[in-house]
C-alpha cells in the first residue's frame, strides 16, 4: 500500500564516523535500528498530533540521549580524565531563538537544558560550571552523577586510545577519535522548522575541548528556509560554519537543499581535510542526509509518509 501524505517531515541522526560493516554485529545493528526507530517515533507522535517542530526535535534527541548506543547522554565518550563532558544545542527557525550548553557533567538530557537556556534566560550559550549553576535554578532539569553516563564500550574506546597514545607519542591526529553525535531536524504542520544536536564530544579530549555540536551555525542551524544538524569532525565543522553555510547557499545562492548540503559535506569539508555528515529539511519538506564517512546512523519520515532507517550507503 502506498504511504499517505502528511504535513510534516522529520529526520534524525545518531552520528557519522568510523562505522565499518564488518565491525558491527547483527545484534548490535538490530539494537541500533530499534533505538533509531524509537527516536523517530517520539518525534513523529508530536508532529502527527499537530505539535511543534521544536518539541519534536527535543523529544527525538532525548530518546537518543537515553540510548547507550550513541555518543550523547548515556552513551557519551570519556575525556582524558575518565569523565564525561556533554554538549547540546537547539534552534527554532521562525524566531531564530537558540540555546546551547557545553561541558556539562550532571545533566541527564543536555538538550533539555539547552532549551531552558533558550526559553528561560536572556542568553544563547552557557558552559561548564555556569551552566550547571543555571540548571540548579531549573527544577524540571533532571540531574545525575557523572558515572551515570558510563558504558563499558566507551571505556574500552578510551583505554584503546590511551594505549595507542602511549605507543605513538607525539601523534596528535584526531582522525578516528570521534564517534559522532545525535541530532534531529523537523518541519511541522504549521510550516515551522527546528533543529537540535547533542554529543559527548571526542574520545580522550583534553583542556575543555568543545566541538561544533553546541555552536549555533556550526553544528546546528534553523531559519525560515531550512533546519540542519551536523555530525563528524567538529573542528572542521566549526572552521567552515557548516550548518549555516548550507542555509546560506540556499538563501543567497539559490541552491536546493540537496545541492547545498552535498556541496558543503561532500566537497567543502573534505577540501579542508575533515569529514562527517549532516541531516537537513527545508520548508517544502525536502530531505538531505549526505555523509563522507563510512556510515551515518540515520532515520527519516518524509512528507509522503515514507519512513526509513539506515546506517551505510545502501
C-alpha pair distances (Å), 180 with each of 130, 193, 255, 268, 286: 25, 23, 27, 19, 24
Residue of 165 and 138 predicted with greater confidence: 138
pLDDT at 290: 98
pLDDT reported for residue 261: 98
Rounded to an integer, what is the distance from CA 253 to the centroid of its chain?
Answer: 26
For 2-25, b/e burial (b = at least 16 CB within 10 A) is eeeebebbbbbbbbbbebeeeeee
What is residue 4's predicted lDDT score, i.e. its pLDDT?
Answer: 64
Q: Percentage of the chain surpassing pLDDT 90? A: 88
- Region 184-206: mean pLDDT is 97
Q: Are 86 and 104 in contact (CB under 8 A)?
A: yes
Confidence of residue 20 (pLDDT cuts 50, 70, 90): low
Q: Looking at 23-32, 46-55, 107-116, which range is the least confident one?
A: 23-32
Determine the pLDDT at residue 175.
55
Per-residue model confidence (pLDDT) at position 2? 55
Is residue 126 scored above 70 in pLDDT? Answer: yes
Least reliable range by pLDDT among 34-38, 57-61, 176-180, 204-208: 176-180
Prediction pTM value: 0.95
CB of 280 closer than 8 Å to CB of 265: no
Confidence of residue 270 (pLDDT cuts 50, 70, 90): very high
Residue of 95, 137, 151, 181 marked active site:
181
Contact 256, 283 (CB under 8 A): no
Q: Please give the pLDDT value at position 313.
A: 85
Q: What is the pLDDT of residues 95-113, one digit of tens each?
A: 999 999 999 999 999 999 9
Average pLDDT of the residues in 114-125: 98
With 0-12 / 13-18 / 19 or more C-beta atoms within 10 angstroms meaning exposed / middle / buried, residue 232 is buried
**Across 118-127, 190-199, 200-209, 278-287, least confident range:** 200-209
174 pLDDT tier (thresholds 50, 70, 90): low
pLDDT at 1: 46
Could you state, in order of their start, the residue ranges of all structural domains in the chain? 9-310
Catalytic residue at 181? Answer: yes
Among 3.40.1400.10, 3.20.20.110, 1.10.1060.10, 3.60.20.30, name the CATH number for the domain at 9-310.
3.60.20.30
Instruction: Say whether pLDDT at 250 is over 80.
Output: yes
Look at residue 14 and tell me whether its pLDDT is greater than 90. Answer: yes
Burial class (CB in 10 A: 0-12, 13-18, 19+), 136: exposed
Reply yes or no on whether the pLDDT at 178 is more than 60: no
In sequence order, what are the residues at sequence separation of 6 or more whose Cβ sits closer than 8 angstroms to the Cβ of residue 40? 10, 12, 60, 299, 300, 301, 307, 309
For the chain, the average pLDDT equals 94
pLDDT at residue 179 is higher than 70? no
Within 10 Å of residue 105's Cβ, how many Cβ atoms? Answer: 18
Of the listed ranges 22-26, 27-31, 91-95, 219-223, the one predicted with least confidence: 22-26
Amino acid at each position: 500500500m502506498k504511504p499517505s501524505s502528511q504535513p510534516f517531515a522529520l529526520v534524525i541522526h545518531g552520528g557519522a564516523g568510523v562505522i565499518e560493516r564488518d565491525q558491527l554485529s547483527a545484534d548490535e545493528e538490530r539494537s541500533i535500528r530499534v533505538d533509531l526507530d524509537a527516536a523517530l517515533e517520539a518525534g513523529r507522535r508530536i508532529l502527527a498530533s499537530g505539535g511543534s517542530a521544536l518539541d519534536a526535535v527535543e523529544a527525538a534527541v532525548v530518546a537518543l540521549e537515553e540510548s547507550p548506543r550513541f555518543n550523547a547522554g548515556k552513551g557519551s565518550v570519556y575525556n582524558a580524565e575518565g569523565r564525561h563532558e556533554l554538549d547540546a544545542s537547539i534552534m527554532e527557525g521562525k524566531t531564530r531563538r537558540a540555546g546551547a550548553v557545553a561541558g556539562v557533567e550532571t545533566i541527564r538530557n543536555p538538550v533539555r537544558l539547552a532549551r531552558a537556556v533558550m526559553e528561560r534566560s536572556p542568553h544563547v550559550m552557557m558552559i561548564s560550571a555556569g551552566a550547571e549553576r543555571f540548571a540548579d535554578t531549573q527544577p524540571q532539569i533532571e540531574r545525575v552523577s557523572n558515572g551515570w553516563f558510563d558504558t563499558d564500550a566507551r571505556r574500552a574506546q578510551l583505554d584503546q586510545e590511551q594505549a595507542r597514545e602511549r605507543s605513538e607519542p607525539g601523534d596528535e591526529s584526531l582522525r578516528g577519535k570521534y564517534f559522532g553525535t545525535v541530532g534531529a531536524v523537523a518541519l511541522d504542520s504549521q510550516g515551522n522548522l527546528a533543529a537540535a544536536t547533542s554529543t559527548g564530544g571526542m574520545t580522550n579530549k583534553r583542556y575543555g575541548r568543545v566541538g561544533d555540536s553546541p555552536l549555533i551555525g556550526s553544528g546546528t542551524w534553523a531559519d525560515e528556509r531550512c533546519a540542519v544538524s551536523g555530525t563528524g569532525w567538529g573542528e572542521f565543522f566549526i572552521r567552515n560554519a557548516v550548518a549555516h553555510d548550507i542555509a546560506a547557499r540556499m538563501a543567497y545562492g539559490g541552491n536546493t537543499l540537496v545541492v547545498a548540503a552535498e556541496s558543503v559535506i561532500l566537497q567543502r569539508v573534505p577540501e579542508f581535510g575533515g569529514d562527517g555528515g549532516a541531516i537537513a529539511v527545508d520548508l517544502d519538506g525536502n530531505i538531505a542526509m549526505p555523509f563522507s564517512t563510512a556510515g551515518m546512523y540515520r532515520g527519516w519520515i518524509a512528507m509522503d509518509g515514507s519512513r526509513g532507517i539506515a546506517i551505510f550507503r545502501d
